[in-house]
Amino acid sequence: MLQKLLLLLLLFQHCTCSSQEYKKLHEKALVVDTHNDVMISMLEGLDLAKDLTGKTHSDLNRFKRGGVDVQIFSIWSDERYEKGKGFIYANRQIDSLYALVQRHPDKIMIVKTPDELNEAVRQQKLGAMMGLEGGHMIEDSIEYLNQLYERGVRYMTLTWNNSTLWASSAKDEEAASTSGRGRVGAGLTPFGKQVVRRMNEMGMLVDLSHVGEKTFWDVMAVTTKPVIVSHSNVYTITPHRRNLKDEQIKAVAKNGGVIHLNFYSGFLDSNYEKRKAIFAAKHASEMDSLKQLKWQSFEIDILMARRHPADMQALRPPLSALLDHLDYIAKLVGVNHVGLGSDFDGVESTPLQLDDVADMPNITKALLERGYKKRDIKKILGGNFLRIFRAAQANISN
């Protein structure tokens, strides 16, 4: 009996030490998430200083609990915000973030440079950065691009699902190749190349999530700075247009860039869409009524997930699915080229154990359990982003 008690005590001590190890590592590490869509909820009137559990994936207290040091907030709009609307809408979102910072300067600060990022960490405030998700919001204007940079935007996703006049998206390239019509293989126009060069000059990271393959390769031929892929995964594991093929992953690594993994179940697990189709059939009448109200498909998905959490729980892949994508990139090109870009508040489903931003330490725990070295975990959590942010900001001309 005494031997059993001693064995149980040793096991308890081991578990406690292991628990403290990942928590301490996560707390010490710089943790950067390169993509979060909660800004739209802010425009709708939600206050990130309040507890928004059940309404969003994110709020200031949960960022703190999750050990997130730097959050890049997505400035997003879809194709409904065409010329004459996109730039204004982007600035409204930026205004809402500045207003949040002004109300809570003890908790959050705007970050525009690597030095300011380090200062936010030193002051134990959330470093708030911004990424423009969709080049259509510059409305074909280099001057608008310059103005958004001045306001703090530090990366631009060249396209969202909709193409611009100067860059083709993954969605449109896929549709064009299937139908034989449209912008198949369009890539970057001369103006698109001018946009990339200007981003390099001013220190704005070029983001290649959402872009078509032709656009991807055109950018790699033009850019003189490391690129970011802010929220995408591995095509070989989950063959979706939003994920990167092996040759693209190798090209990003050769360029010195970083691929930040998206937590969306549909980009992690190739069987997720089949399970989601069963869910949709079960709730078809409810979803049809939302379609009749002209809701976008992604808006319907997010609302339905909130209305039916028990059903959605059964659709979620395990946390190991995210780690499988991370392992794949690390083995293919090394840990220097992978990071985290959650897409929280922009998706209806994430893996188990990643319910919201407060669960970010679970990734550190899983990385330790997979045998990653502490120095490599620190790179994945945020060190790799800081490196390319510094590279983007080196020798800039504004």
Render pLDDT for 2-51 as a digit per residue (tens, 0 to 9): 555 444 444 444 444 466 899 999 999 999 999 999 999 999 999 999 99
Residue 80 forms part of a structural domain: yes
Pair 355, 302 in one domain: no
* Distance, CA of 210 to CA of 232 (rounded, Å): 8
- The average pLDDT across 163-175 equals 95
Q: d(Cα 151, Cα 14) in Å, to the nearest integer?
A: 49
pLDDT on residue 15: 45
Question: Does residue 4 lie within any of the structural domains?
Answer: no
Q: Could you identify the residue written with the tokens 């983007």?
A: 392
CB 29 within 8 A of CB 384: no
Per-residue confidence band for 124, with pLDDT thresholds at 50, 70 and 90 = very high
Do residues 147 and 280 share a domain?
no
What is the per-residue pLDDT for 256?
98
Residues 302 and 343 grouped into a single domain: no
Which of 293, 316, 339 is the last residue before a domain boundary?
Answer: 316
Q: Which of 139-148, 176-185, 258-267 has the lowest mean pLDDT?
A: 176-185
Does 23 reside within a domain?
Answer: no
Q: Are residues 298 and 333 in the same domain?
A: no
Q: What is the mean pLDDT of residues 230-235?
A: 98
Mean pLDDT of the chain: 92
- When pLDDT is averaged across residues 130-140 and rounded to a whole number, the result is 98
Domain final residue, candidates 316, 331, 346: 316
Q: Do 161 and 287 belong together in one domain?
A: no
- Residue 116 within any structural domain of the chain: yes
For residues 138 and 278, state if they share a domain.
no
Q: Within 13 Å, how many C-alpha atoms sit on residue 370's CB side?
A: 21
Domain boundary among 316, 340, 374: 316
At residue 169, does pLDDT exceed 90? yes
User: Are both 44 and 167 inside the same structural domain?
Assistant: yes
CB 388 within 8 A of CB 255: no
74 Ramachandran zone, left/alpha/beta (phi>0; psi -120 to 50): beta
What value does the mean pLDDT take over residues 352-371?
98
Residues 300 and 229 in one domain: no
Which pLDDT belongs to residue 18? 62
pLDDT at 183 over 70: no
* Predicted pLDDT at 1: 55
Mean pLDDT of 204-223: 98
Are residues 358 and 303 part of one domain?
Answer: no
* Whole-number percent of the chain with pLDDT over 90: 79
Range of the domain at 369: 30-269+320-393
Instruction: Tell me how many domains the chain contains.
Output: 2
Residue 13 included in any domain = no
Backbone angles phi, psi at 182, to 5 degrees: 95, -150
Could you write out the DSSP letters of every residue in 252-287? HHHHT-EEEEP--HHHH-TTHHHHHHHHHHHTHHHH
Do 279 and 132 belong together in one domain?
Answer: no
Domain with 349 in it: what CATH number? 3.20.20.140
Tell me whether residue 6 is in a domain: no
159 lies in the same domain as 257? yes
The string of pLDDT tens digits covering residues 378-388 is 999 999 999 99
| Mean predicted confidence (pLDDT) in 242-264 | 98
Which of 96, 189, 182, 81 is CA-nearest to residue 139? 81
Give yes or no: residues 252 and 293 share one domain: no
Quick one: pLDDT band at residue 238, thresholds 50, 70, 90? very high
**Residues whose CB falls within 8 Å of the CB of residue 91, separated by 6 or more in sequence, listed in order:** 151
Residue 14: inside a domain, yes or no? Answer: no
Mean pLDDT of 51-59: 96
Least confident of 28-37, 88-97, 297-306: 297-306
- At 288, give phi and psi (nearest 5°): -60, -40
